[in-house]
Structure 1
Amino acid sequence: MDELMKAYVRFAGLARLWLAAPLMAGTLSAGAQTVLTDPTKPPPEAMLAPGAESVPAAPAGPQLQSVLVGAAWRGREVAVIDGEIVRRGETFRGAVLEKVGPGEVVLRKNGKAQVLRVFPETAGKENRK
């Protein structure tokens, strides 16, 4: 009886591995091919003004999705641009990430600076109460 239990436990363990292997392989390969998107961002249709008929066009340039700025001097300065993690001083599509601040970053390419904001549609607007 002892040998029968050992054989059953061995078989059950191998069966779990055999069943889990294809699932794990599919998860790993699917994760490597997907682009990171903001799961909390509403669909473009939700951004329409009342009475508007078409979806606003997507911005032509890169999109700043997130910024992480450390509190300490020379702390962590990281941006997520078009789903790609970029640290200050690294390059993104040929442009150097020059400055990382709360809500915006500066990319420099061929001597020209490009400012990206997390919320570009509110840039320059004042908060009125």
Structure 2
Amino acid sequence: MDETLKRAWMAGLLLAACCLPASAQALRDPTRPPAFLMPGGAGARAAAPAASGPQLQSILIGRQPGGRHIAVIDGETVSLGGSYKGARVTRMTPNEVELVRGSERRVLKLNAPSGTMPAGRVERVRVD
């Protein structure tokens, strides 16, 4: 009888453990970007303005005088004097790339003060 009580007690304990609600807490991924940076994430539209033009992602300028000047715009690599979607790359600095198409000039900035990537500033200039 002593063995039967032990088995019944163990079975009851096992049944109780299985019926308890799981209380494990989900772990937060420390490498996951904030929700407002995720496409379709909570607050994505409220925190970041909609992109209205090309996005400058990177600028690489060679150290030697006359070195290579390369920029990455919307994932496309362009060089100084080259073209991006019909616009000519006329100027590169460590933080800006200037695109000219006809009489339209657009300056793409790499570092924005608000922490978001700007779409660029469009100005009309007279080209002689």
TM-score normalised by the shorter chain: which range applies?
Answer: 0.5 to 0.7
- Between the aligned partners of 1:118 and 1:79, the Cα distance in structure 2 is 10
1:58 maps to 50
Structure 1 unaligned blocks of 5 or more: 1-39, 124-129
Is the aligned partner of 1:97 residue 2:81?
Answer: no
Secondary structure (helix, strand or coil) at the match of 1:45 reads helix
- Between the aligned partners of 1:44 and 1:108, the Cα distance in structure 2 is 35
Decide whether aligned partners of structure 1 residues 41 and 63 sit closer, same or farther in structure 2, where only a CA change above 3 A counts: farther
- 1:47-67 deviation line (CA, Å, top 9, x unaligned): 9xxxx7934232211000000
Which residue of the other structure, out of 66, 70, 73, is the alignment partner of 1:81? 73
Whose radius of gyration is greater, 1 or 2? Answer: 2
Identity %: 39
Following superposition, the deviation at residue 71 of structure 1 comes to 1.7
Q: Please report the TM-score for the alignment, with normalisation by the length of structure 1.
A: 0.52
Q: Please report the TM-score for the alignment, with normalisation by the length of structure 2.
A: 0.53
Runs of 4+ in 1 over 2 A off after TM superposition: 40-44, 52-58, 119-123
Decide whether aligned partners of structure 1 residues 83 and 41 sit closer, same or farther in structure 2, where only a CA change above 3 A counts: farther
- 1:6-55 deviation line (CA, Å, top 9, x unaligned): xxxxxxxxxxxxxxxxxxxxxxxxxxxxxxxxxx99456159xxxx7934
Structure 2 unaligned blocks of 5 or more: 1-30, 116-128
Name the structure with the higher helix share: 1
- 1:90-123 deviation line (CA, Å, top 9, x unaligned): 1101100111110111000112211001123549
Length, aligned pairs only:
80
